[in-house]
Chains A and B, each alone.
Chain A
Amino acid sequence: MIEIESVTKAYGGVRVLDDVSLTIPTGGITSLIGANGAGKSTLLSVAARLLPADSGRVRVDGMDVATTPGPVLARRLAVLRQENAMSVRLTVRELVAFGRFPHSGGRLTREDHRLVDEAMAWFELGPLADRHLDQLSGGQRQRAYVAMVMCQGTDHVLLDEPLNNLDMRHAVQMMRMLRGMADELGRTVVLVVHDVNVASCYSDRIVAMREGQLVAEGPTDELMTPELLRKVFDVEVEVHELAGRRIGVPWS
């Protein structure tokens, strides 16, 4: 469970997060949606202690992220940012193995190796294990990063736009894998997504933000309404039911 209590964050006088309070329950996929600049990524970064909050606090399983020692928290919560340009040249296996660092401190045990292999298999990276990241396509690379985060073995996984740079096929594949992580492995997955239909089709809960404030949160079905989407995105959106899923169509 992630508890966010009146978190505020400002950059040079502009409030990017304005008194946000939110509880993300254990299990399932929660999607953060909102227009560009709504504060989704900032909220995710604060929750993952990549950014310090100006005020308020975030607790993960009751531990304050600002004061809990890094290694302790890293065994409970894993995070992947949008940009992951690295100055070092790694193979897929080396990257994924870094996910075990909070547990092994850099010295991999037999069990760690098994978990690395498992994470690579989960994301279908087996054949690419010994390739360098710069020899992969954007989609394969993205999968490798997510595999590293999964390999960290944390109950909470926070991902900022994991579908960035992925084509339709790979986006669907990625969402299915994340779905599997939530359903089969019981992880709590929190995503920043910019496509509301991805959020609608794959997540259990939606958190909608606008201008640094929380607009609404709740089960996906309740939030996928024309009224709410208009409020969040400032665009008229029709919501249609297709094959049991709610699909928003903005071009009406």
Chain B
Amino acid sequence: MAAVLTAPERAVRRRRTLAVLGVVTLAVVAAFLTVDVTGSWDYALQQRGRRLAAMAVVAVAVAVSTVLFQTVTNNRILTPEIMGFDRLFVLIQTVGVFLLGASTVTTADPRLRFAVEVVVLIGFGAVLYRSLFGRTERDVYVLVLLGVVLGSTFTSLTLLVSRLIDPNEFLTLQDLLFASFGSVDRQLLALSAVVVVLVTAGVWRLLPRLDVVALGRDTAVGLGVEHRRVVNRALLAVAVLVAVATALVGPITFLGLLVANLARQLLGTHRHAWVLPGAALLALLALAGGQLVLEQVFGFNSSLSVVVTFVGGIVFIALLIREPRQ
């Protein structure tokens, strides 16, 4: 059993951990920007900077949405993806290619595509969450069940439609479905960044109340938190963040689960004011570091999600083994 630390000792350690995490992330980001530049530095920095910005936007969106979702569901294993967001994204792409043809989809105005994707995903999330939450305590199980069922439905539909697609077009489709930071449109990136910043800022005021919501509904109500209102706002934020991140770069599963739990483990607290920055830094670290490994070690012969999931999974399991009760 770990030694018992007093509250001030814990606070010092927490601050130090976050600072170290910040420095490590900065170092990896710097490496990502500068390693192996051949030719024009201006061009390389501009290209990599844009990718980095996309990563930062996605990192914040994924980290914040996962932590909030776990708080309001009082669960540390669920992520918003359980609701089938990524699979709905895949379905949208597949149906788009099927109905309009690969060339139409890939050459369409990226802003239009983005808008359609975001609207469908947010609409789906908002309807699902709002119809499910706030009735009784048990709703989280219904939510999980419905998520699993809908997810499989989306997957089945996707399979069905993709059988009907021309094989050549199917290849194009596959490219659309991998999370990619390489080809992000600049205007969309700016728009997403603004949305993510606004939503995160809006959520910030809720944080002390979310700390209480994490104790469970009854305790939160007993402590005077208007539980339902806080939960609804948090879920709306989750729907928007997940939709924007998925529409911007494609589905990134597992990253949220990983960084949310790692942040809590490393910082030894559940206070959102600490966990959210920690999780966001970890997410950026994982994305930039993963991309670096992908380029330098595997020479692009793999995908970012594979690297992130593989390395992150190992770290996660190691932490689980080290601290049994968590």
Contact = CB atoms under 8 A, between A and B. Distances in A.
B208 A106 contact: yes
B224 interface: yes
B75 A87 contact: yes
B199 interface: no
B130 interface: no
Nearest to A70: B224
A135 B224 CA distance: 28
Contacts of A75: 224
Interface string A64-91: 0000011111110011110011111111
A107 interface: yes
Interface string A47-75: 01110000000000000000001111111
Interface stretch (A28-36, A97-105, A176-184): A97-105
Interface stretch (B4-12, B13-21, B301-309): B4-12
B273 to A, nearest CB: 9
A185 B218 CA distance: 25
Contacts of B5: 130
A74 B219 CA distance: 11
A152 interface: yes
Interface stretch (B113-121, B166-174, B185-193, B209-217): B209-217
Contacts of A106: 207-209, 211-212
A88 B208 CA distance: 15
A78 B222 contact: yes
Contact of B221 (A70, A72, A91, A131): A70
Given A73-B224, A87-B75, A98 B218 contact: no
A70 B229 CA distance: 11
A40 interface: no
A134 interface: yes
A93 interface: yes
Contacts of B76: 87
Contact of B216 (A78, A86, A134): A86
Nearest to B75: A87
A74 B215 contact: no
A127 B209 CA distance: 29
Interface residues of B, number: 29
Contacts of A90: 270
A68 B143 CA distance: 30
A130 B224 contact: no
Contact of B270 (A50, A84, A89): A89
B225 interface: yes
A130 B223 contact: no
Contact of A48 (B4, B216, B222, B226): B222
B103 interface: no
A219 B1 CA distance: 49
A89 B75 contact: no
A93 B219 contact: no
Interface in A90-146: 90-91, 93-94, 98-99, 101-102, 105-107, 129-132, 134-135
A134 B208 CA distance: 23
Contacts of A86: 74, 214-216, 219
A132 B270 CA distance: 13
Kindly name the residue among B76, B212, B215, B224 whose own CB sees the greatest number of chain A CB atoms within 10 A. B224
B322 interface: no
Nearest to A88: B270
B212 to A, nearest CB: 6
B224 A98 contact: no
Given A88-B270, A89-B325, A130-B5, A101 B224 contact: yes
Given A84-B216, A131-B4, A72 B223 contact: no
Kindly name the residue among A80, A93, A130, A134 whose own CB sees the greatest number of chain B CB atoms within 10 A. A130
Contacts of A131: 4
Nearest to B70: A87
B7 A98 contact: no
Contacts of A134: 325
A89 B269 CA distance: 8
A91 B7 contact: yes
Contacts of A49: 221
Contact of B4 (A50, A78, A130): A130
Nearest to A106: B208
Contacts of A80: 222
Interface in A199-249: none
A72 B224 CA distance: 7
Given A87-B214, A93-B7, A135 B1 contact: yes
B38 interface: no
Contacts of A152: 223
Given A86-B216, A88-B270, A98-B215, A74 B208 contact: no
Contacts of B7: 91, 93-94, 129-130
Given A86-B74, A89-B270, 17 more contacts: A48-B222, A50-B221, A71-B225, A74-B222, A80-B222, A81-B222, A85-B216, A87-B70, A87-B74, A88-B215, A88-B270, A89-B326, A98-B215, A98-B219, A101-B212, A101-B223, A135-B1
8 contacts: A70-B221, A71-B225, A87-B75, A98-B212, A98-B215, A102-B223, A106-B207, A132-B325
Q: Which 6 interchain pairs have the tightest Cβ spacing?
A: A74-B224, A106-B208, A71-B224, A88-B270, A70-B224, A102-B224
